[in-house]
Amino acid sequence: MLIALMVSMTMVSCLDSNDDEQLSDKEKQNWLMNAAGTYSGKLYWFDKNIDKTKYPKQVDSLVVTTKMSLDNTITIYDFPVKLFFKSLPVTKNYTEQQLAELSADELAKLKRNDEIVKSAEEVGTMDLKMNFSIFTAKNSFLYYYVAPNPVRMTLNFGGASHDIAIAFISMTRGIYSSNKNYIQIYEAAIYDGKDVNGKDKLLDGKALYDNNSTGTELQDLIFEFNGEK
């Protein structure tokens, strides 16, 4: 699915041209009435811990439900919180020999990440909410922008509680056609508490996504839903 996502993104990006069909407010409302509803399907993500020799694409999935509402919001219900932290390196990604070769600071960070993931697992699931806006339709396909809301939670690690926030790229895409819905989101950053100015502070001082992110790095940040009414 994640390979298909990259292809679909290329196809959708072709819509960013001057020949996009400009929908009237009435047309947007009609499309919205058709698209609104509850969808059952699967959430897909890349998992580098899957045995590549058995499953070359290393893609995992989970059955979830989403709701597309008339107020231009989408909710993915029961999103596993631990997935927001799957891009963090943890000790199980390393052999004993590799762990022995790490510096004390590097090993401490890995163990901290282990605690973050464990705490996220204990939280369980949360509903992921996002806003969307229709921008065009071609033939029987409706295309819309998606802007996920930040997800906030409290996790316990390092002997203390931490206010954690997950941020996303704000203008990814969704496609609706014939009672089927496809949604893609990109995780962008993990924040841990506030800085001296009261702004969210990046975990380890670095975002997960930036303009220089490689394809390998990006695949670990993509989530996509594919479902139908």
Q: What is the pLDDT of residues 94-131, one digit of tens each?
A: 999 999 999 999 999 999 999 999 999 999 999 999 99
Mean pLDDT of the residues in the chain: 88
Q: What is the pLDDT of residues 51-67, one digit of tens each?
A: 777 777 888 899 999 99
Name residues whose C-beta falls within 8 Å of residue 227's C-beta, 6 or more positions apart in sequence.
39, 40, 41, 42, 64, 65, 66, 180, 181
Name residues whose C-beta falls within 8 Å of residue 82's C-beta, 6 or more positions apart in sequence.
117, 120, 121
The pTM score is 0.86
Question: Does the pLDDT value for residue 7 go beyond 90?
Answer: no
Q: What is the pLDDT of residues 178-193, one digit of tens each?
A: 999 999 999 999 999 9
| Mean pLDDT across 204-219 | 84
